[in-house]
Structure formats: C-alpha cells, structure tokens
Chains A and B, each alone.
Chain A
C-alpha cells in the first residue's frame, strides 16, 4: 500500500550510484529510508535513527554522512553513493577482501557503513596506526566483533594499498 497520497511530498533529482534519479519523496522521509524502500538499495541499514550507530552511513557529495539524519528531500542535486555503488565500482574491494579474510564481520549489519567509513579514512590517510583506525571508526558501532578484527582488516587493506602503489 502506498503512503504517497497521504504525505506532503517534494520532487528531487539526484545521482545515486552513478545513475540519475528523479523521484517524489515524502518531505519527512529520511534519506536512508528512501534509498532502502524507495530505490531498493537495502545495503544501507537503520540501527538507531539518532545518528549514533553509523549503520546508515552513505557517501553524499564525496563525504560519509548519516543517512538517518538527512532527509531525502535534502538530497536534491546531490551525488550519493551507497555500499552497492562502492562495491560495483570496485573502490572498496581491498577493504571487502580484508574484512572477509579476517572475519571482521559477524552479523554484517554494521558492515556496509563500516566499510564506507574505513574507505574514507584510507583515502584521507593511507597508513593510519591502530589507535587512529579505532578513532576513525568510532562513529560506527559493531556489536558482534569487538572491533579487533575490523582494525586488523583496515590495517591489512591499508598495507595492501601501500604495496600496490
């Protein structure tokens, strides 16, 4: 059942994972809810809706953002990348491989946000030490791993990238 008829809406045009999108969105709908249920991009998750846990992390105009703290209507004109887009482009492949090999995820609910945040860290700082990795990931909660393996995986991916350069 559609809720559109009952909601005040706004028309937006933006780019999502490289594709132009035009949509009419409820003005009160969060960006992550629209990406998930409007576009079917369910790789971004909703963990707290208060901007605390980071499961909804997406990239907006080149920086990671909380998809739960932005409205879909605010995305008008924005360039948005979700984990699906980052995966398709291959830009987070080394991190994904390291997370897989290092068992740096269990339930996987935090993982897309964690990977996007880690990718941003490595783009800014190619060789972060462990405390720096921990600090950079502190806006992304993981309830399963205890973080140690995630720190290992990010460090492994950083070392891999430095070797490849």
Chain B
C-alpha cells in the first residue's frame, strides 16, 4: 500500500460492517417495484411474438378493447403520437449498424418475445385474457438463428433495410504476429464456443408509470440500475423536459447488468400511462424475462497462442464471432461485449504481438447486452484454456508458466499488446497468496489419490484482468449520454445527523454501506448518524448509477471529497465561534476537538445554531453545512483490477455431471471499503460464472425458436450444486484517487467459468478423455469427451 493509507483517519473505511438495510429486507419489509400499488392503477400485459421472424399481416384489437376489465389496447400506431423510436449510435463503434427500434412492433417482428401490442386492464389476469382476443395474423419469414450462418451468402436478413446481418467489426493488431507464430516452438489452438446466457435477477424487470396531465409530469418507479439514465431517455423519447420526469428505483431485486437498458416494453408502459393519464404497472413474468431481458455471451472464438522453447508466451491471434440478436441494445450497444472480449484477450501476460478480429452479427433472437463482467469471461476462458494447454503440453505446472509470463506494470504502468492500460497490479502477489491458501502440492496429491481410487478429478486455474469503473472517455467520448461521474450531496440536520444523497444505485451490492463508511471517516461522525438516499432522480443528483463496478472507485471518491468539504465547513464555523484557527481543530466522533484532543463543541450544537440561531455566529460568518461534490476521474479511462481463481472438480463417470468441490479466488480491488461486502460480491460473482460454465443456457433451435420456458429449463445454480468459495485479498491501492479503491463487483464472474473449464479438462486429461472448449459443460459433452478419449 502507498504511504497515503496511513495518512487517512480510517475508522470505518476498511471495516467489515454488515449492511443496515438488510434488517428490513430480512423482516420482509423491503420495498420492491411490485410492492407498490397506486390508486386507480391498471396493469399492462403484452402480446409478444411467438415466432422469430414474421411480417404482421393483421393486428385487429377491436375485440380485445371490449373484453372484461380492459381499459385500453395499444399498438405502435397508437403510441407513436407520444413516443418516438430510437436507434443505437455510438462513435466508439465506427460503422455500427443498428436499426430503429420501437416500443411495439412496427409491421414486423425480429425475435421471439418482441412486444406487439399492449393490453391495459384492471388486473394482469384480465389483460392476459384480452390478449387472446387480439386478431393477429402473420407470415413467418426465414430466420437467422446460428450466428455462424448470419453472414453466409443468401442468408435471410434480420433487417432487410440494412442489406447485411453484419452489425460491426472489431480489428486490432500489434507486433508481428505472423513472425511470432512462425518462430514459435509450440502453438496451441482451439475453437471456443460459448452458450448464450442471461442474468436472471430474481426480481424480474418491472415498471410503474403515472402521468399527471395538469402538470404534464411523468412519475415512474422502476426496478432499474440507473434511474437517472432512464429519466433522461424517457424525457427524450416522450418529448418531456427532464424536470417533468421523475424516476425512482426502490429496493432492486438484483440487476447484474440486465436492468440498465432501454427496453421496448418499459417505454410502451410509460407511453400508455401518458395517454391514459393514470398509473400503469408492468412486471415481467419469468417467461417474458427469459425471452426479453438482454442475453449475453454468444461467442465463437478461434484462437491460437504461440509459445517459445523457454515457455515464454509470444503472441495470441483470435477470430471472434458474436451473435447479438435482433438489435444492438440502446443506448450502450451490444458490441461492448465483443470489444471487451477481444481487448482483454491475453491481458494478464506480456505478449510481443497480438491480433484480434471479430464479426458482430444480427440474429432473430433476443437482444444481447451488458451482463456482469461484460466480455471479460470470454477472453479469460480463451486465454486461460490456451495457457493451461500449453503448460500441459510442455509438461510443466501452469502456475509456473503464468508466473514466468505475467505482465507486471511496475511503478510506471504499461499497456497490454491489445492496448489496455494497466497499473497498480499484483499478479505475482495474488498467485503467491493463492498458493498459500490452497496448498497446491497437497491438493494435487489428494487429487492423485482420488484418481488412484478411480475418481475423475481435476484442478484448474484462471488468472484475470477486469477493467472497472469506466470514466467519461468510454461513453462520453463516443457521444453516448451515459454518466461516468457521480455526485454525493451532504447536509447536516439540526441534531447533527448527516443527510446524504448520491447518484449511485443500490442493487444489493452494498454500496450504500460503503459510502456511509467513507462519509463517516471523511466528516468525523458515527455511521449511525448518516442517512444516505439513492435511486431517486427527484431528490438526488444526476449520475451513473450501478454499472462497471463503479461504486467504490467513483462514488467512494465523491463521498470522500463531499465529506471532507463538509468537515471543513464545520471546523470553519467552530473556529469562528471559538476564536481559534480552523486548522488547529479536528472533528472526531461528532465533536470538534482542539489540538490537545479536548472536546470543544458538538456538531449537533453547531447544527442547531446554523438552523435556528444563526445570529449567534460572528458577523460575516454564514456556515452552509451542505456540500455537493461531483467526482469525475481525470485520466485513466478505466481502472484495471487483477486476480486469480482456482477450481477443484470431480466428474461422475456414469452421468457426466461435473461437481465443483471447492473454489478459490484471490482478488485485488485496491483499498476495500468493506471487506465483508467485497468478499460476498466476489462469491456471488463466482457462482454466476459457475452457472455459465455448467448449467445456464438460453437455448434456441436452428430456426431461432426459444426453447427455455421457465426456470425449470434455464438452470440457475442451486445451493447444493455450489461449492464453498474461499476468497483472499491483495490490496494494491489505485494511485489516482485519495481512497485508492477499485471496482469489486465483477471479478468473481470474470474467471470462474475459465477455472472450471480448466479443471474439467485437467480431469479429462488424466482420465484419458478429449478436451472440451464449449460452455456450458453439459453432461452429454462431458460424457462424449470421456468416451472420445477411450474410443480412440
């Protein structure tokens, strides 16, 4: 840690402190979107496309309009009077093609689940009844399901007006890749296939919108990760000033990236509320959620790695293909996933040369979008599988190979071959910590003994780099109105309590508690005296919300600066009153103390004076006791983090089921505001990665019909299937901020599936099977790999 850490007056920052809000959640007193009902509220339900691609021939809603309990039925022709279409445009993706998108289908459908008509009725059940009365006729058209067929000559076009299914292409190269491969002593290569999966927040997406004609005011409650962004787009799409649009996110039942986009159905509900001038609620059912939430990670990557005779990695070369579904998600674009999957290839290692190309294609499937650890798990699985295979072929320990090749940025920082800026890193320290945690030699001996008994066991590792806390250089520079800054407002109440609000979002990750800890230390009051509100555009400052693991790194810094400024105001006021220089005073546990540490005046007393007896201050002294601090990081477009994971698995010879026996993570997210919460973020992230590795799959047939009907089909990890997860930390402070915090929310997901893939292949290798490079690692795949080896 830099010397700075000892200079900070740390009492609360760095403490493992349980979250205050969890007591209410445990008592069943949480307030989630569907817990709110308004007077005169009605309910929306959607007619959704049953087919992947079709022209709509007839959409007659007359009978539905007179069904019992129905208030209104809307098609796009009805909504267009108050709502405009949108299109994803981003200068970060030159040449990006993406068609216009509408809240309800405009004459044709391009994916199963696309909303076509909206019925609003007295209850959800009545609205669903009325959907059955809509006279809907269509002509099905050929669909693109398999991404690799999207660019074939004669392939059906998802959007004929675009003339191609190609949405965007990524290209990057550095160094002489061909020479590196020509000179290599060893080349390992593989085709990696990643199944689509999705976030499955347990609370589905939901929105409740009310419109007051007398004030032309739209008031919205949404289960959303970034109410400020939603406010901005609602104002734009519905042609209202932001001052007449309020969005509130109450308790949010999980996000993981799913609840950060503009969804057609949510916009349709707001447009309907505006037309009806009464509250309209929509909560997605699980089938709607599975078909219309953003999906992620449908990639095919052909990759190869060049290694010299001394076991030094020379170059990586990859060709990728991503199927993004029917549209590039608004406003951030689905292509971010390919960007990160390609740019973080080989990121942990010093490579002299690298080349990556990727095609991003449209399909007649659900839109894809940003899901936890965007793109990184793809790159991590590809890189780390190649690294472990190279080590196996060289007959050496893969950890030794990693240690030899780690890119250690040192004090000056450095760039990866594909252009990521790295600094404040600790690969070697993380590896050392991991080896101490799991006793690699002892575990390998244990595994060898198990194999002697006929069991199929394996151990796999995955080093990772996770880019976090994006700055304004990412979206702002691209012309996309996404806030990468955050603001924290603080004020002192008459009893000395601190009333704070922040532009961040609490979605269960615990950033509320972290910011309270920062404010407590920054101001010098107990955390119990701080109330922090987030998620309300009406009272909170505009800012980023919850994305890219930004809370501690960006929000934490804003809280620190706001708190320090407020503390300064208190000390100035006390100094004026006590006739002492402010810089001889300090604020400790709610008291202003002098240089000897003696308590001179309580903050509460000063606050009462400010609010009620301001005349008692010396003339010319007018303490404000409130501060807003807007933090935008200068430089460093993202803050890199690093770590390593290990997975220990066994495979059932009869069923092919993979069982995770234990999982380890060592992670460096800089200074931890609250190690308890950081550790649980890592654990939760790991299990999402394990789900991706073993179970989770948004399955479509070749014609793009969706095959997962419920959570009995889409397999979310259960408690009994998951291992204990041991988490270790290395803290290398980010030097570009006072607190030194980096992002912590996504690293668990980043490398978990890679570690399991490597563990399974380690087990298969020892059992004489073939290796697998397809996720999820379903039992049929595993059985085939076992048999593939034994049959020749």
Q: Which residues of A contact B (CB under 8 A)?
A: 1-3, 5-7, 26, 28-29, 36-37, 41-50, 52-53, 55, 82-84, 87, 96, 99-103, 105-112, 115, 130-131, 133-135, 137-151
Contacts and interface: CB of A to CB of B under 8 A. Distances in A.
A146 B510 contact: no
Interface in B507-566: 507-510
A140 to B, nearest CB: 7
22 contacts: A1-B42, A41-B28, A42-B31, A45-B32, A47-B204, A50-B711, A53-B716, A87-B26, A87-B28, A100-B18, A107-B203, A109-B203, A143-B201, A143-B202, A143-B688, A143-B716, A145-B687, A146-B680, A146-B686, A146-B725, A147-B717, A148-B725
Nearest to A46: B34
B23 A45 contact: no
A154 to B, nearest CB: 10
A114 B317 CA distance: 47
Given A46-B34, A49-B285, A108 B125 contact: no
The CB with the most chain B CB atoms within 10 A, among A41, A146, A150, is that of A146
Contact of B286 (A29, A48, A147): A48
Contact of B25 (A5, A7, A111, A135): A111
Contacts of A146: 680, 683-688, 722, 725, 748
Given A3-B121, A112-B28, A145-B684, 4 more contacts: A100-B18, A103-B676, A107-B252, A130-B724
Nearest to B286: A48
B175 interface: no
A83 B27 contact: yes
B25 A105 contact: yes
Contacts of B35: 36, 42
Contact of A140 (B710, B712, B719): B719
Interface size range on B against A: 35 or more
A34 to B, nearest CB: 12
B202 A26 contact: no
A119 to B, nearest CB: 12
Nearest to B254: A107
Interface string B492-516: 0000000000000001111000000
Contacts of B203: 45, 47, 107, 109
The CB with the most chain B CB atoms within 10 A, among A47, A84, A134, is that of A47
B30 A109 contact: yes
Interface in B740-767: 748
A53 B201 CA distance: 11
The CB with the most chain B CB atoms within 10 A, among A44, A139, A148, is that of A148
B376 to A, nearest CB: 18
B683 A111 contact: no
A53 to B, nearest CB: 6
9 closest A-B pairs by beta carbon, nearest first, are A43-B28, A108-B25, A107-B508, A109-B253, A146-B687, A106-B508, A83-B28, A3-B123, A42-B35
Contact of B202 (A42, A47, A49, A84): A47
A114 to B, nearest CB: 9
A113 to B, nearest CB: 10
B719 A100 contact: no
Contacts of A87: 26-28
A6 B126 CA distance: 8
B720 A141 contact: no
Interface in B228-263: 251-256
Interface of B: 18-19, 21-23, 25-32, 34-35, 37, 40-42, 68-69, 71, 121-123, 125-126, 199-204, 251-256, 283, 285-286, 507-510, 676-677, 680, 683-688, 710-712, 716-722, 724-725, 748
Contact of A47 (B26, B42, B286, B509): B286
A5 B202 CA distance: 32
Contacts, number: 199
Given A1-B42, A36-B34, A103-B510, A52 B711 contact: yes
Contact of A52 (B19, B22, B42, B712): B712
A59 B346 CA distance: 52
A140 B37 CA distance: 26
Contacts of B42: 1
A144 B22 CA distance: 13
B712 A106 contact: no
Contacts of A112: 26, 28
A105 B203 CA distance: 14
Given A36-B34, A47-B203, A103 B253 contact: no
Contacts of B204: 47
A151 B253 contact: no
Given A1-B71, A146-B686, A53 B28 contact: no
Contact of B722 (A6, A100, A109, A147): A147
Nearest to B709: A50
Contacts of A137: 719-720
A137 B722 CA distance: 12
A108 B123 CA distance: 26
A52 B719 contact: no
Nearest to B253: A109
A43 B202 contact: no
A49 B711 CA distance: 9
Contacts of A151: 719, 724
Nearest to A88: B27
A108 B30 contact: yes
A144 B34 contact: no
B711 A53 contact: yes
The CB with the most chain A CB atoms within 10 A, among B19, B41, B69, B253, is that of B253
Nearest to A28: B125
Given A144-B684, A147-B687, A109 B286 contact: no
A142 B26 contact: no
A134 B720 contact: yes
Contacts of A131: 720
A46 to B, nearest CB: 7
B677 A103 contact: yes
Contacts of B748: 146
A2 B43 CA distance: 11
A156 to B, nearest CB: 13
The CB with the most chain B CB atoms within 10 A, among A41, A111, A150, is that of A111
Contacts of A46: 34, 283
A41 B34 CA distance: 12
Contacts of B508: 105-108, 144
Contacts of A47: 202-204, 286, 711
Contacts of A143: 199-202, 254, 256, 684, 688, 716
Contacts of A110: 202
A36 B34 CA distance: 9
A69 B677 CA distance: 34
Contacts of A138: 718-721
B26 A100 contact: yes
Contacts of B21: 108
B710 A50 contact: yes
A136 B543 CA distance: 42
Nearest to A86: B28
A137 B699 CA distance: 27
Contacts of B27: 43, 83-84, 87, 96
A145 B683 contact: yes
B480 to A, nearest CB: 27
Contacts of B283: 46
A99 B200 CA distance: 22
A2 B32 CA distance: 22
A108 B251 contact: yes
A58 B711 CA distance: 20
A105 to B, nearest CB: 6
